[in-house]
Amino acid sequence: MRVIIINNMFNENLNPEVFTRGVADIITKEGLKKLLQDKRQLRVKHGIDATSPYLHIGHAANLWKLRALQEAGHKAVIILGDFTTHIGDPTGRLKSRPQLGEEQIERNVSSIKTQIEGILLNKPAVCEVRRNSEWLGEMSVKDFLQVLSLVTHARLIERDMFQERINKGEEVLISELIYPVLQGYDSVAVKSDLTIIGSDQIFNEHLGRFFQEKFKQSPQVIVALELLPGLDGKKKMSKSEQNFIGLLDSPKDKFGKAMKVLDDLIISYMRSYTDISLEKIADLQKKLEQGLNPKEAKLFLAEQLVARYHGKKIAKKEKDGFESVFSKKELPEDMETRDLAGENHQILDLLIKLKLAPSRSEAKRLVLQRAVEVGGKTITDPTKSVKLKPSLIVKVGKRRFVKIGRIKN
């Protein structure tokens, strides 16, 4: 990752693309202009729900904006929602979220912090990581009721997701109604000047502005980023939909997943999820319109995406490996070799032992989808027993290979 010297003259290093590239809305543009003219260090907030230990490149789009603002001398204020995760953000949900236990939330928070540190500058002068349990967990009932008294039921229930659930006769929990209140109060607690969010969070952050005014603070400016569909081209990226490219994914998996991006999302993914220059993106868009094979654009997208997180050398290696396997029909040079005990294995057990599937149910799904090959032959029967021998190759999907090494007795 490139080394940045933080400029003490705020905003002189700031690339104006921070507030245009991949941005859906700014509330308000006049407020943003005033903040940047103040020539002071801004407190730039970004909240992360701890319902999952995984972040994906959609989450990271916010973090890269924060990184750019850090490089101009401003402070990134990360709020880990350990308290609000007990409720679960209802945004975009047609059903209530299951509640998580304390231990799972702590594991999720630890994992999220590690992923954040891979992108942000981890210097106290420009980085502050907080948990909202620090203020929400310590708030008295009296103080909480005072905050609640500032907002009406009508304002909270107007959200589309709640109206849809009500019309379907489904429940809306009181805890879900107050989630936006708690998230809004986060802005008061950290004295946020500016918040970087996905556009699905605008309602909650408007409440942040509302509460800040009530508590005699200047209302934060909201910079809302575009929400792109996931790899399936339908719903937004999320672990529950299995349509995401994760920050914890290996370089190989990041590259392979990027190659699955739908053709009409290539340009949008380049603009929001990479640092490819806008000039280059415009040139590729023009070439696609003139008949360039989308696969060529995807190869470039995948390489640049991997390079952003793992460096150019590893990205070039993944590109060469991908082209060898798919274009030249070669086996990967870095194929993993595993020794196993015994010659005969039931196919589902074999996939688990080779770490090609995390469970029997997933292994069965892969077999039924005709995604499993042993020795070049497709396995379609989940009950089949396989006889192993050294150098036998087990393949799952198009890019996952394991070579059998020694057979132990």
Average pLDDT, the chain: 88
Closest by CA to 259, choosing from 314, 305, 313, 292, is: 305
Average pLDDT over residues 76-105: 77
Which residue has better confidence, 399 or 83? 83
Specify which residues 79 forms β-bridges with.
47, 130
Worst-scoring range by mean pLDDT, 24-33, 229-238, 246-255, 295-304? 229-238
Q: Does pLDDT of 289 surpass 90?
A: yes
Closest by CA to 179, choosing from 53, 49, 292, is: 49
Burial label, 347 (beta-carbon count in 10 A; 0-12, 13-18, 19+): buried
Residue-level pLDDT at 112: 95
Residue 3's pLDDT band, with cuts at 50, 70 and 90, is very low
Q: Does pLDDT of 147 surpass 80?
A: yes
Specify which residues 407 forms β-bridges with.
340
Contact in structure between 397 and 371 (CB atoms under 8 Å) = yes
Structure tokens at 182: 């708690």
Residue 2's pLDDT band, with cuts at 50, 70 and 90, is very low
Residue 397's pLDDT band, with cuts at 50, 70 and 90, is confident
Q: Does pLDDT of 192 surpass 70?
A: yes
Q: Does pLDDT of 347 surpass 70?
A: yes
Structure tokens at 192: 């946020």
Spatial distance between the Cα atoms of 235 and 34, rounded to a whole number of angstroms: 36
pLDDT digits (tens, 9 = 90+) for 6-49: 444 567 778 888 999 999 999 999 999 999 998 899 999 999 99
Residue 74's pLDDT band, with cuts at 50, 70 and 90, is very high
Residue 333's pLDDT band, with cuts at 50, 70 and 90, is low
Q: Does pLDDT of 151 surpass 60?
A: yes
DSSP-derived pairing of the beta strands 127-131 and 336-341: unpaired
Q: What are the C-alpha distances in Å from 401 to residues 9, 277, 351, 366, 374? A: 52, 35, 11, 14, 10
Q: Does pLDDT of 328 surpass 70?
A: no
Residue-level pLDDT at 157: 84
Which residue has better confidence, 102 or 76? 76
Q: Does pLDDT of 203 surpass 80?
A: yes
Which residue has better confidence, 398 or 53? 53
Q: H or E element: which one contains 343?
A: none
DSSP-derived pairing of the beta strands 75-81 and 43-49: parallel
Q: Does pLDDT of 5 surpass 60?
A: no
Residue-level pLDDT at 329: 61
Average pLDDT over residues 98-123: 90
Average pLDDT over residues 220-248: 88
Q: Does pLDDT of 103 surpass 80?
A: yes
Worst-scoring range by mean pLDDT, 75-89, 146-160, 212-226, 389-403? 389-403
Worst-scoring range by mean pLDDT, 48-57, 74-83, 208-217, 373-382? 373-382
Highest averaged pLDDT of the listed ranges 43-47, 162-166, 255-259, 340-344: 43-47
Which residue has better confidence, 385 or 43? 43
DSSP string, 36-63: HHT-S--EEEEEEE-S-S--BHHHHHHH
Residue 343's pLDDT band, with cuts at 50, 70 and 90, is confident
